[in-house]
Structure 1
Amino acid sequence: MESHEAQALAERFDREGYLVIPNALTPKELEPLRQRYDELMSAHWETVKRTDPDPRRVYLPRLLERDPVFEPLMDWPRTYPIARAILGQDITLASAGEADYRPANSGGWIGWHSDTSWLPGVPYPRQFHWVRCAYFLEDITEDMGPFTLLPGSHRATHPCPPGYTGPDHLPRTIPGQVAITGKAGTCLINNTEIWHTSTPNRSARPRKLLMVLYKHAWMRQWEAGHDVTREFGERQTDPRRRQLCNVGPWHRYDGNWDA
């Protein structure tokens, strides 16, 4: 992707809080990702079912470290330049990637929120955020519980109103909300401060996503088993990937690897 194209998309992202990139992955590129995702998720599903017989969501962290087939997603050429244009030269991974699975015929699992709404003492509008790239492994239609957001809400001067979520902890329909649907291979790139929710999957098909999160180098990673391990980072030989894996001092950034 040309730098001027990435910059134009970054400016739109700044206004709206999200981008939808069709054909971020081709059918040929999707196939090995889908196959390995299904293998890993099938094994993980059995583990989850032992403690939760009817899960609304199944989540597998550190996906980038589970198989080399996923590693290229950290700097995928059709999406990474956009994330870099948004965050700047000090871009790093906020986590080691996640596999997200919403079973068929399952309820919504979370109400309206922004991902850092729980942070105390940080004024609005929030100036710093993570950038999430969510890749669709299959077609996602409106009845499949698509990622639903309120464009421009990342610029809000106040938290997401609690009244947007009902007493049943499910999201209410909000004027202006957008459900993100698309063909397999689509990538949703969103500001994690945007107000968003997860609606019920009323279809007979599961919703499958691969997610990669980015941050500024000086921000902490997502911890509790989601962070990039030191061993994985040290294994990288490409300077860009080493930076993305938080190897080296926080002030060493893309274009300044020898500093």
Structure 2
Amino acid sequence: MNDDSHLLIDDQVQQFILDGYLTIQTADVPELHREIHDQMDTIYEKEGNIGNNILPRIPRIQQVFDHPAVREALTGLLGPDYIMNPHRHGHLSPPDGKGQAWHKDCYVYDHNIRHPRFQWILAFYYPQDTTDDMGPSGLIPGQQYYKTISDVDPEKTREQALSLCGPAGTVSLIHYDAWHRATPNISDKKRFMLKFQFARLQAPQGPTWRHTGCAWVPPEDDPMPNVSMDVWHWLCGKVGNGHPVSAADEAALFDTDERVRLNAAHGLEAV
């Protein structure tokens, strides 16, 4: 009998749609994370950042992404035949590291396409315990569908942000279009983070998580419920609702407010 204890549930998939991230724990194998951390520390001291070669140089990193909790989470979000992209990057934030501005990553070979119906996911992995003072990755939840934010300068940004902290083995799965950054490291410790990319190979045919029903209404404070519902139905393998398109629906596509345009576009996409 298959063990489905690590499968995502509806609430987690819905959280990912709304907030643009999901945190998974693999802290049950501390010796693995300790070994990865120590090897990274040695490599960075002697050679610096080795880019895409980090996985061939430290093959045990693959065990993190083969962990049942991570594998089932990726399956739930990207389908059973997802792939790991060969591009990856290790990030070292040393003591007194200044952090970054808010940004979105570019897609490999395509700097323009953005996908509310997400085709790609970023995975941020910490091989060491990471606290808020160590310069963890910051994220602005719920802003992944927006092309712009109030200001990319963290000192001027009005949107509410959070820090992705956790014990060694924390893996944060992030919508590829999420606004994120490295925060300042004000501790006396190094902070390593490994960023990997995963992609789906086919459109969803149906739920690939522990699913109980498609009847979901986004919360009242969701600024773009049409977008959320469209992504949810798409993940459930359902597209199109047969509703007629009104003149108001079409007019909203040209509204000056990005939120209104996006909500209208995905309302029409679901028709």
Q: Deviations over 1:19-63 (max 9, x none)?
A: 122344532222221222222222223xxxxxxxxxxxx563232
Mapped contact 1:104–1:203 kept (Cα < 8 A): yes
Find 1:105's aligned residue among 96, 100, 103: 96
Aligned residue for 1:164? 151
How do 1:199-214 residues align onto structure 2 when only pairs under 5 Å count?
A: 199-214=183-198
Check 1:25–1:133 CA distance in 2 against 1; reply closer, same or farther (3 A cut).
farther
Q: Deviations over 1:105-129 (max 9, x none)?
A: 1212x31122138833x4x663334
- In the other structure, the counterpart of 2:18 is 15
| Alpha-carbon contact 1:73-1:212 (below 8 Å) kept | no
TM-score w.r.t. the length of structure 1 is 0.66
- Which AA in structure 2 matches 1:6? L
Report the alpha carbon displacement of residue 4 of structure 1 after superposing the two structures with TM.
7.5
Task: Report the AA paired with residue 76 of structure 1.
Answer: H
- The residue that corresponds to 1:149 in the other structure is 139
Aligned to 1:2: 4
Change (3 A) 1:147 1:129: farther
Give the C-alpha shift of residue 181 in structure 1: 1.5
Counterparts of 1:203 and 1:112, CA distance in 2: 21
Q: Which moved more, 1:77-86 or 1:172-181?
A: 172-181
**Counterpart selection for 1:180 from 150, 154, 164:** 164
Q: How many Å apart are 1:155 and its aligned residue?
A: 3.0
* 2:116 pairs with 1:114: no
Let me know the Cα RMSD of the aligned residues. Answer: 2.7
Structure with more contact order per residue of length (Cα contacts < 8 Å, sep ≥ 6): 1
CA distance in 1, matches of 2:124, 2:84: 14
Q: 1:138 aligns with which of 128, 139, 149?
A: 128
How many Å apart are 1:130 and its aligned residue?
A: 2.0
Amino acid at match of 1:10: V
Any idea what the Cα deviations from partners look like across 1:79-107, whole Å, max 9, x if unmatched? 12101210113311123543221111121
C-alpha contact (below 8 Å) 2:26/2:67 kept by paired residues: no
Q: How does 1:1-259 map to 2 (within 5 A)?
A: 2=4, 5-8=7-10, 9-45=12-48, 60-108=51-99, 110-116=100-106, 119-120=111-112, 122=113, 126-156=116-146, 159-161=147-149, 163-166=150-153, 172-217=156-201
* Counterpart code for 2:188: A
CA spacing shift, 1:174–1:24, aligned 2, 3 Å: farther
- Cα gap change, 1:40 to 1:16, in 2 (>3 Å): same
| SS of equivalent to 2:47 | helix
Give the counterpart letter for 1:136 in structure 2: Y
Contact 1:111 1:171 in 2 (8 A): no
| Sequence identity percentage | 24
CA distance in 2, matches of 1:116, 1:210: 17
User: Gapped runs of 5+ residues in structure 1?
Assistant: 46-57, 219-259
- CA distance, structure 2, for counterparts of residue 71 and residue 4 of structure 1: 18
TM-score (norm 2): 0.63
State the distance in 2 between where 1:213 and 1:72 align: 15
Aligned residue type for 1:41: Y
Given that residues 103 and 179 in structure 2 are in contact (C-alpha distance below 8 angstroms), is that contact kept between their aligned partners in structure 1? yes
For the 8 Å contact 2:36–2:60, the answer to whether it is kept is yes
- Work out whether residues 59 and 100 of structure 1, in 8 Å CA contact, stay in contact via their aligned partners in 2: no
CA positional deviation for 1:11:
3.3
**1-side partners of 2:161 and 2:111: how far apart?**
24
Kindly name which structure, 1 or 2, has the bigger radius of gyration based on alpha carbons.
2
Q: 1:139 to 1:131 in 2, by over 3 A?
A: same
Q: Name the aligned partner's letter for residue 172 of structure 2.
A: L
Q: Count residues in correspondence.
A: 197
Shift in Å at residue 14 of structure 1?
A: 1.9
